[in-house]
Amino acid sequence: MTTPVNRLRPRRSCLAVPGSNPRFLEKAQGLPADQVFLDLEDAVAPLAKEGARQHIVDALNNGDWTGKTRVVRVNDWTTHWTYRDVIAVVEGAGPNLDCIMLPKVQDAQQVVALDLLLTQIEKTMGFEVGKIGIEAQIENAKGLVNIDDIAAASPRLETLIFGPADFMASINMKTLVVGQQPPGYGADAYHYILMRILMAARTHDLQAIDGPFLQIRDVDAYREVAGRAAALGFDGKWVLHPGQVDAANEVFSPAQEDYDHAELILDAYDWCTSEEGGKKGSAMLGDEMIDEASRKMALVIAGKGRAAGMQRTSKFEAPEA
């Protein structure tokens, strides 16, 4: 029987690292990103892709990735590199790999194909079957239209990721600045896309991750764009530069006050529904009435805070009888 795998890993900051650059691969190990994905796709020139596979295997096997989710982005299924990317990386470093990221996913069968290939490699190599997860990147209109089927395609699936640059090109969006609002449109041009991804993710208990912001030196603008996704409920965002890492970790973590309040709600609800607390379905926490719905909302905030390693600064005290 396969051991259950924790698919809900911290992913506030997802750092992209070119697999063809050993210096960047080494530097990434010391950055405080929740996730690092070693790239074989867009960040690597065609002539450098085969060599990059070995650089990535060496980095995964010999590097110190403590505390980080380790991911490799392979090339998409429309290229001739994909199957060799997966075989080389998983056979070479499978025990030190958490997920494979599949870009430009357009239908569920592309996820199924990757799942099957991973299973064959794991069985051949004697690795634990099903341990390596899949991250699916949605980068065009067809992928978004098929997103419900994609989200349900494999038990390995962990995240759905918005790929804004290719997506903007696929729908002929009138802008060259990735992630910023196109001129001439008064509302949020990305709201429907982000919400569609989020709904599919939550329906299937997956995480939702926002893609990159290419103006890497404008950290204030990065915070603004990241804040939009965080407000909707996304779990994290890509970072392309070390200067974006702290901003992502901050934006996708609860404020200390909110985290403390969420933990207090959970403690208060546990107490009021207990024998000692009178088995009540609702109670007062200060001037606030809390109930089961409050508990569910608090679980979300508390979960994010715990995943971020936050510590409580307040303690629940049961009211005196």
The annotation places the binding site at 73, 139, 166
CB atoms within 10 A of CB 60: 21
Annotated binding site for substrate: 73, 139
Q: Provide the 3-class DSSP secondary structure of residue 117.
A: helix
Q: Quick one: tokens of 57?
A: 């295997």
C-alpha–C-alpha distance, residues 277 and 128, integer Å: 45
Is residue 9 within 8 Å of 159, Cβ to Cβ?
no
Is residue 144 within 8 Å of 123, Cβ to Cβ?
no
Place of tokens 């609702």: 282
Closest among 131, 155, 161, 127 to 143, alpha carbons compared: 161
C-alpha–C-alpha distance, residues 59 and 53, integer Å: 10
Q: Quick one: tokens of 314?
A: 């307040």
C-alpha–C-alpha distance, residues 232 and 209, integer Å: 11
Is residue 225 within 8 Å of 179, Cβ to Cβ?
yes
Q: E strands along the chain, which residues?
A: 13-18, 35-39, 69-73, 99-102, 133-138, 157-162, 207-210, 236-239, 283-285, 288-290
End-to-end CA distance of the chain: 50
Closest among 163, 162, 187, 184 to 175, alpha carbons compared: 184
Annotated binding site for Mg(2+): 139, 166
Is residue 237 within 8 Å of 296, Cβ to Cβ?
no
Q: For residue 176, give the DSSP letter.
A: S
Q: Quick one: tokens of 201?
A: 């993710």
